[in-house]
Amino acid sequence: QVQVVESGGGLVQAGGSLRLSCVVSGRAFSNYARGWFRQVPGKDREFVGVIDGNNDITDYGGSVKGRFTIPRDDSKNTVYLQMNSLKPEDTAIYYCASGKYGHAGASEKDYFYWGQGTRVTVSS
């Protein structure tokens, strides 16, 4: 069974940093891309970033580029969303998703499996 589990959300002050974790079980870690999305209640999910399954190629949404990165730890089958210079507009529920293939992009259709989300609140 494939499971996607995000963790690490919380409350942080604007300008601060937060690190989310995503563990995907039931699939070979290096074979599939892993993406991050976020969603504000009542709005569509927004692409945040993605890292390829078997290399360090990444892509980021324009609103977070230069502030967020996606480190990986292959030994833990884990990828992270390192969020720096947080802004109030970053407040959302953040979702991790496991891709259909080793490469994925900004479309939700590129992903098979989704986590339940973890809430991030950035105060001003």
* Position 75 pLDDT exceeds 90: no
- The strand pair at 34-39 and 92-99 is best described as antiparallel
Whole-number pLDDT of residue 26: 87
pLDDT band at 74 (very low <50, low <70, confident <90, very high): confident
Reported as a single tens digit per residue, the pLDDT across 110-124 is 999 999 999 999 999
What CA–CA distance (Å, rounded) separates 53 from 2?
Answer: 16
Q: What is the pLDDT of residues 24-66, one digit of tens each?
A: 998 877 789 999 999 999 999 999 999 999 888 999 999 999 9
Angle at 85 (CA atoms; ends 82, 91), nearest 5 degrees: 80
25: how many CB neighbours lie within 10 A of its CB?
12
Phi-psi category of 58—alpha, beta or left, where left has phi over 0 and alpha has psi -120 to 50? beta
For Cα atoms 9, 96, 99, give the angle at the middle one, nearest 5 degrees: 170
Of the two residues 35 and 1, the one the predictor is more confident about is 35
Q: Return the H-helix or E-strand segment holding 95.
A: strand 92-99
